[in-house]
Copies of this chain bind each other. A is one copy, B any other.
């Protein structure tokens, strides 16, 4: 155990549907070496792990060998932290119809170092707590605004996994109980159906259809509008695009007000494409939060944007799991 404390690095694996990106990271969040392979193209998980280990061995040697590695963390879809497994992940050919003990498989191939995995949003929360804007915080909520809306909840300095390991699905609290939009989860009215990238694009189409005012967005094919288009138009001062952000931020603020009643966090930390819009999205979130939160919580929580570089944030988040085990 004492020797483990002296090991200076952890491995992070950001396991996405397309790419698997590896980083070897020190305690300050500096990525010492990195590599990647394609996630696709392996029918059997054994072949995937073989390819991973081949790629890893090169960068492990670069930093001084396996004896410098404390542990490995994996951020992956459908990850069960308690069991170290990936379970029925629709986008992974070798795990779409089964439960894969991925943590154990990597550990056995890497000299029995501890390996743990969790989902992307939880990894992002650990990344912020270890290297980012949430350093030193014991109670905060990470909200990732991407294709979906993910979350990682930290209470008493620990990630909230719940009874089954799947806690923290805040993208799927119900925000509209009547006539709510259909969500990817099969239910209606979820936060994600409005505040994900696809949700924002849908809001844009709805606004353009219902209203008559001019907008830069009218120059685009409505069916192809993305949340990035909305962001660019809003950045140019387009008032309709700004209102789309206000609508989105308003709902996020309402949702955060409910989350405060649950865990009363010190901060909400936002990550992802939309969070990059800065004040355009953060101002409506804060305004709406102050309007909707219980008086007892008003003015207590900070609203922060992730300080981790977008390109390496996922690997850093995954690596942060390694310091926790």
B162 touches A263 (CB 8 A): yes
Beyond A138-B163, A153-B263, A156-B156, 18 additional pairs, beta carbon < 8 A? A139-B162, A139-B167, A153-B262, A155-B156, A156-B158, A156-B160, A162-B264, A163-B264, A163-B301, A168-B264, A169-B261, A169-B296, A170-B262, A174-B258, A174-B292, A177-B254, A258-B258, A262-B263
A185 touches B139 (CB 8 A): no
When C-beta atoms are compared, the residue in chain B nearest to A191 turns out to be: B261
When C-beta atoms are compared, the residue in chain B nearest to A261 turns out to be: B169
Q: Hey, which chain B residues are within 8 Å of A261, CB to CB?
A: 168-170, 172-173
Copies in the complex: 2
Task: Report A221 CB to chain B, min CB distance, Å.
Answer: 32
Determine if A297 is an interface residue (Cβ-Cβ < 8 Å): yes
The one of B169, B254, B263 that contacts A167, using a Cβ cutoff of 8 Å? B263
Q: Hey, which chain B residues are within 8 Å of A166, CB to CB?
A: 264, 296-297
Task: Report A34 CB to chain B, min CB distance, Å.
Answer: 32
User: Which A residues from 144 to 197 make CB contacts under 8 A with B?
Assistant: 153, 155-156, 158, 160-170, 172-177, 185-187
Task: Report A292 CB to chain B, min CB distance, Å.
Answer: 7
Determine if A21 is an interface residue (Cβ-Cβ < 8 Å): no
A155 touches B160 (CB 8 A): yes
The interface on chain A, measured as residues whose beta carbon lies within 8 A of the other chain's beta carbons, has a size of 43
Q: Hey, which chain B residues are within 8 Å of A292, CB to CB?
A: 174, 187
A234-258 CB mask vs B (1 if < 8 Å, else 0) is: 0000000000000000000010011
Can you list 13 A-B pairs, Cβ within 8 angstroms, ordered by A? A139-B167, A160-B263, A162-B263, A163-B265, A168-B261, A172-B261, A172-B294, A173-B258, A174-B257, A174-B292, A176-B177, A177-B254, A262-B263
